[in-house]
Structure 1
């Protein structure tokens, strides 16, 4: 196993950015940049041993500097949406940017996806990786508290990428970290959509949202609805069905309530792509997972290999706490207090089915 570092480019204000390439002993390669903690590429084998990059994104750093839908990026301080860009904590109302209609999305105008993290190479017995650190200062994007965040990516010999998140604060705040990788197990250069990927989610319920995709507070059973992935089903099999949550989101863009009652690391989802044989499993300590099927991709973004990303060109499985939790007392709390340590672990693992 090996990790190498190279110059990747400079931000618009001249800050140098690096690219870390992680290689295991079985041909797997993951590239990660300290700009936004973006997973730039991930090459995994198919059933015939052919390696393909299975992440949507760009060939060069300049692509990631432009406007894009968070390809591969670390998301914070708060992944997903906060209603009206406001929340109240300890009787104080905090105002955030409204960067998604009337709502706040993925940390604001300059979230963790757009900052340069301090990076250190990691070499462990179980893998190689990169450790990223960032101090988000009190008041940044409207959030309270000086927040020290560390995210460690570790790539292993069993084609797994482990993401370990930790954070501490000096004042009460809210926090919901995740990664926004867009997967296509056919390969990023295939030009195929993901509707034929077979998906299983370990969740008997989801949190339906309003027209702005803000959860209503209801926790609704998936049984008998197109939201039910408790048994394997193609992503596209029911995506056009006459069901209001699908109409409002233009497909799947929903938080699933995982079947768990604690922070144990458990299987959350599995995806199988029949033509390549690739299988991806997602394990997490988080209570929820957001399924997003690239509904807003419209062909205007040209990615790797000159491929235009159309609707459903990729899917995301973002491990998380629930959207808008600071405004929903019945949802698991996202409050972090001084003296506490936020922890989250998510592992994406690839294998093949012959």
Structure 2
């Protein structure tokens, strides 16, 4: 009898393993593999972070790109929710910033000019005559040093030392960016930087989210932003310095509103300048605590994302310039409005606006910032 019970128990275990061969893959942890080679022969790595719920995020130490992020829909089906390209060679060719670390300065600095302690610095211009996303060779094109930590909440710490004068910026900047995949299906990003000379820092991640799992554009996704003001810009998308109320404008997302409701309002000058949304919203809560900044809901898949941050603002970009020429990991052409960026950050062109929160970093100080993207369904 005991032998028969033992035999039945063993058979049951084998049957479960046969029916669910991926059960071992659900174990939380982090793995790595070679992603490709840099032009100088150095190897770029691809790290896979996985939690016990089966969520999986792939990140490379080349530029800190979030390559894919598999998240379940309301039926439990795992699908990729971030735009990316199929191979490492595609990343080397360059992308429209599909999920990298952006630095030293995310967003724009007018005409590439800034003044620190009375000294003017000239930064390279690479977008409408302005300095954009750290310059021509920003942090998104660097091979970072990676340190991984295994466990139930696996993490990947990336380090880069930006030398004094790189892309025109003063000071040697030591930067750490840590990605942690949490038990609650949230990806936490912690930024830290120190300098040996006065400089400016504004770090962010430029992921394009599409909660449909790449099935359709983002126009019917519902966006809420906890911001009662935004930053109007000039025609080159440099802030005018005004903090304008969103009430009565196409920029009012204080209540969940579909992205496409007013995105083509040709009567609105700001929509014309951005070719849609490409603006910074000013959070109503300007504290440095980790607070809810925005939510996104995709009604068909049921995926719901909450974004928490310590930053004072978020640049919302609606993939206004994608044209279908780039094909993603799934072979799907990325067309206009196919992704939604929520770039948590200080304000664009802050060094040239004394009324904006400062982005100046001095020796002895530590730049710190945290953003959390949490996925669920409803």
TM-score range, shorter chain: over 0.9
Matches of 1:156 and 1:264, distance apart in 2: 19
Cα shift at 1:157 = 1.7
Cα shift at 1:91 = 0.8
Taking structure 1 as the reference length, the TM-score comes to: 0.98
Please tell me whether residue 78 in structure 1 is matched to residue 105 in structure 2: yes
SS at match of 1:306: coil
Cα shift at 1:306 = 1.8
Cα shift at 1:351 = 0.2
SS at match of 1:168: strand
Residues 1-354 of structure 1: pairs in structure 2 closer than 5 A: 1-123=28-150, 127-188=153-214, 190=215, 192-241=216-265, 242-353=267-378
Is the 1:122–1:154 Cα contact (8 Å) retained in structure 2?
no
Matches of 2:135 and 2:358, distance apart in 1: 20
Matches of 2:295 and 2:163, distance apart in 1: 37
Residues 214-250 of structure 1: CA deviation (Å, up to 9, x unaligned): 0000100000111000000000011111211001110
Q: Is the radius of gyration larger for structure 1 or structure 2?
A: 2
Q: Which structure features the higher share of helix residues? A: 2
Name stretches of at least 5 consecutive residues in structure 1 with no aligned partner.
Answer: none
Matches of 2:148 and 2:136, distance apart in 1: 29
Cα shift at 1:123 = 3.3
Q: Could you list the runs of 4 or more consecutive aligned residues of structure 1 that deviate by over 2 angstroms after TM superposition?
A: none
Root mean square deviation, CA, Å: 0.8
Name stretches of at least 5 consecutive residues in structure 2 with no aligned partner.
Answer: 1-27
Cα shift at 1:66 = 1.1
Matches of 1:62 and 1:35, distance apart in 2: 11
Matches of 1:262 and 1:282, distance apart in 2: 15
Residues 110-134 of structure 1: CA deviation (Å, up to 9, x unaligned): 1000000000002356x10100000
Matches of 2:287 and 2:76, distance apart in 1: 38
Matches of 1:177 and 1:274, distance apart in 2: 31
Give aligned pairs, total. 350
Matches of 2:120 and 2:44, distance apart in 1: 36
Q: Which structure features the higher share of strand residues? A: 1
Is the 2:29–2:151 Cα contact (8 Å) retained in structure 1?
no
